Structure 1
Amino acid sequence: MATQTESGGDMSLGLTLLFGTLGVLGAFGMYLFATSGNQVSSGWAFAIAMLAAAVLVTVIHVYD
């Protein structure tokens, strides 16, 4: 009985880790800027986190 295995490529893993890390760093930056009172920088960090999360989901679906 033959089984079919499917393995994701290195591109999928690498891009997933890259954009996942960017999302976490953006969220951490948002927290740091918000606690220091810098609302504009906190907003930009939030935008980076959300953009990285959107690209992360896209990468997962494209390279699936």
Structure 2
Amino acid sequence: MQTESVQSDKGIGFAVLFSIITVIGAAGMIVGDQLTAAVGFAVAIIAASLAVVAAQTFW
């Protein structure tokens, strides 16, 4: 049973922020050449991981 309450919505805000960065990175995979696609993929994976971490840490 949970005994403490959350007073902040930081988890939601960070998750949304990193999700937007993930979408931008995924869009970069479509637009450019092979190097741009690789960088976009890396940005998307890192940002998605940080979105999950932020949601779990602050929520």
Question: TM-score under structure 2 normalisation?
Answer: 0.80
DSSP 3-state at the match of 1:9: coil
Aligned-residue offset at 1:30: 0.7
Distance of 2:16 and 2:7 partners within structure 1: 13
| Pairing of 1:1-64 with structure 2 (within 5 A) | 9-33=8-32, 38-64=33-59
- Distance in structure 1 (CA, Å) of the matches to 2:51 and 2:30: 21
What root-mean-square deviation, in Å, do the aligned CA atoms of Structure 1 and Structure 2 show? 1.5
Which ranges in structure 1 are unaligned for 5 or more consecutive residues? 1-5
* Number of residue-to-residue matches in the alignment: 55
- What is the TM-score with the length of structure 1 in the denominator? 0.75
The structural deviation recorded for 1:10 is: 2.7
**Which runs of structure 1 show a deviation greater than 3 angstroms over 4 or more consecutive aligned residues?**
none
